[in-house]
Each structure stands twice: as structure tokens, then as C-alpha cells.
């Protein structure tokens, strides 16, 4: 059984291309500078439609986390950590914390992105404790 793979589309392609290259990217509004994830066809702050992508540091803090002790499918070996990460640049994203079984984790801890090969074409952004 395979893990759930993201159904990439034209709007999100640069994000997943970045992951292949080992960089985490977020969408940027050219008009007002707002950064957003997930990518959209317009800026949620100023409604502008001129958007590009910037590489971010990959550093962030844990906004929340949980240790899943009953996995969603056999492809996910429990226990595993599901977390919400506040990127230093602002946007929040869901991810995993991969070097942890949850022991000692706390909201507010610093983390850094890493990439795991999940398929031929998908490098998945995950996080490790700093």
C-alpha cells in the first residue's frame, strides 16, 4: 500500500518542483508582497493576480502537533507525528516531524525542513527538530 501522494496541478507545480530541488517555496504576491500557502490563483490579501514563488529558509516553529498512534493506513507506520509548522516567513503548513516519536515535543520548538523521496516524482517536505 502506498502513502497518499499529492495530486499536483498547474498552480502547485512550482512548489513540488522546488521540493525535488531541495528547496521549500511559498507563493508571493508581486503587488503587495503577501506570502501564501497553499498556492492560489490570486492573492488573498490584495486580490492581485500577479504571483510568483520565493524560496524560504525552511525554518519554522511548531504551532501544534500530535502523535498518531493508529495510522490512517498500513502505509503509515504509527506512531508518527503530524504537525502544523509556522514558517519563519509567515505561512503555516501541515507536515510531519520525522526524527521524533513525539517524546519531548512542545509547541514553539524550532524545526527545519528536510525532504523525503515518496515516489519517483514526489519529494515530500517534512521537518526535523533543530
Partner 1 sequence: MTTLRGKVAIVGAADTEVGIVPNIGATDLCVRAALSAMRDAGINKDQIDGLITCDSMAEPIMYHAEAIAEYLQIFPRYCMSVGTGGGTTFSIMHHAASAIATGMADTILIAMADSLRSGLTREQAMLMQSSTGHPQFEQPYGPTVPAYYALIGQAHAAKYGTTAEHLASVAVACRKHAALNPTAQMREPITVEDVITSRMIANPLHLLDCSLVSDGGSAVILTSAERAKDFAQRPVYMLGVGEGHGHEHISQAQSLTTSAAVESGQRAYQMAGLTAADMDFAQLYDCFTPTVIVELEDLGFCAKGEGGPFAASGAIELGGSLPINTHGGMLSHCHPGNPGSMFALTESVFQLRGSVAPERQVKGAEVAMVHAQGGIMSSHTSLILGNEVN
State the Cα angle at 69 between 67 and 73, rounded to 5°. Answer: 110
Rounded least distance, CB 46 to Zn ion, Å: 3
Contacted by 2, from partner 1, Zn ion, none: CB < 5 to 8 Å by type = none
Contacted by 107, from Zn ion, partner 1, none: CB < 5 to 8 Å by type = partner 1
> Rounded to whole angstroms, how far apart are CA atoms 101 and 68?
10
Strand ranges of the sheet holding 51-55, from the earlier edge strand across to the other edge: 35-36, 25-29, 51-55
Contacted by 34, from Zn ion, partner 1, none: CB < 5 to 8 Å by type = Zn ion
Q: Which residues bind Zn ion (CB under 5 A)?
A: 29, 31-32, 34, 43, 45-46, 48
Amino acid at each position: 500500500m502506498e502513502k497518499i501522494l499529492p495530486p499536483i496541478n498547474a498552480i502547485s507545480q512550482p512548489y513540488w518542483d522546488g521540493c525535488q530541488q531541495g528547496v521549500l517555496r511559498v507563493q508571493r504576491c508581486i503587488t503587495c508582497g503577501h506570502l501564501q500557502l497553499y498556492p492560489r490563483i490570486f492573492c488573498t490579501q490584495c486580490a492581485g493576480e500577479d504571483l510568483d514563488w520565493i524560496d524560504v529558509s525552511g525554518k519554522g516553529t511548531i504551532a501544534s502537533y500530535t502523535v498518531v498512534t493508529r495510522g490512517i493506513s498500513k502505509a503509515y507506520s504509527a506512531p508518527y507525528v503530524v504537525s502544523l509548522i509556522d514558517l519563519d516567513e509567515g505561512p503555516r503548513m501541515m507536515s510531519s516531524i520525522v526524527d521524533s516519536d513525539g517524546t519531548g515535543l512542545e509547541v514553539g520548538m524550532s524545526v527545519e525542513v528536510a525532504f523525503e523521496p515518496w515516489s519517483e516524482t514526489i519529494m515530500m517536505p517534512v521537518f526535523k527538530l533543530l
